[in-house]
Amino acid sequence: MQITWTQERVERLAQLFAEGLPTAEIGRRLGLTKNAVIGRLYRNSMTRREPTLKVQPRRNVFEFAGPSCLWPFGHPDDANFHFCGARPEPGKPYCPEHAAIAYIRPKESNAA
Ligand SMILES: [Zn+2]
């Protein structure tokens, strides 16, 4: 099955993912299989290994041109809603800073 990842579709994917929807639900809304959604998210992170020659002038979802942190700022209904846009960690949708928040380790240190 040929999947055309239009910019609109990628933006929608990023938005739904940021809202915390399960990949199966994202796929249903986009008319894609769950695997297609996972594959795209995975590829987004992995493209980090390629040399980045393009300069991303602005950090917002409408300039979604490559791997970028999907941490949302503001509410999706807000006009100024946007994603962080920083470089994500390999295999993760967030930059190191936001990954640290998103993936809080269950075991906390004893520092009091
Ligand atoms: Zn970030």
Residue 78 CA to ligand 1 center (angstroms) comes to 19
What percentage of the chain has pLDDT greater than the value 90? Answer: 15
Q: What is the mean pLDDT of residues 51-67?
A: 54
The rounded Å distance from CA 2 to ligand 1 centre is 31
DSSP three-state, residue 72: strand
Sign (positive or negative) of CA dihedral 8, 14, 17, 18: negative
Residue 68 has pLDDT above 60, yes or no: yes
Lowest-pLDDT choice from 24-38, 46-60, 70-84: 46-60
> On the CB side of 72, how many CA atoms lie within 13 Å of its CA?
17
Q: Average pLDDT of 62-90?
A: 81
Distance 96 CA to ligand 1 centre (A): 7
In whole numbers, what is the pLDDT of the chain averaged over residues? Answer: 78
Per-domain boundaries in the chain = 7-102
What string of DSSP letters covers 12-45?
Answer: HHHHHHHTT--HHHHHHHHT--HHHHHHHHHHHH
How many angstroms separate the alpha carbon of residue 41 from the centre of ligand 1? 15
What pLDDT was estimated at residue 30? 92
